[in-house]
Amino acid sequence: MTKKEMIHALSKKTGMSLKEAENAFTAVVDLITEEIVEKEEAAVSGLGTFMIRSRSSRKGRNFQTGTSVQIPSSKSVGFRAGKNLKEAVNK
């Protein structure tokens, strides 16, 4: 589902105008993002937990030239599904 489709579905489900639904959706995404940046974790009850995961540096390979390259360490966002979401998926 794209962002636009999600906003339309939110508007239809809640009776909000498209602009109100877009503002609400953007606000929720911004709140989750801010929480992850500040606390390295954001738990959304009934959905799951978003968290920062660290990747250590590692060796990789440039497939075009065949040479080894060092991939620097980085951070990414992970997601652990909550109980309600797991149950809904497994029905």
How far is the CA of 6 from the CAs of 9, 11, 43, 77, 78, in angstroms? 5, 9, 20, 21, 21
- Nearest alpha carbon to residue 29 among 7, 56, 8: 7
Average pLDDT of the chain is: 95
- d(CA 8, CA 77) in angstroms, rounded, equals 26
Fold designation for 3-80: HU Protein; Chain A (4.10.520)
Amino acid at 13: K
Q: What was the pLDDT predicted at 23?
A: 97
- pLDDT, average across residues 18-42: 95
- pLDDT at residue 12, rounded to an integer: 96
For the chain, what are the domain ranges?
3-80
* For range 47-64, the mean pLDDT: 94
pLDDT at 25: 96
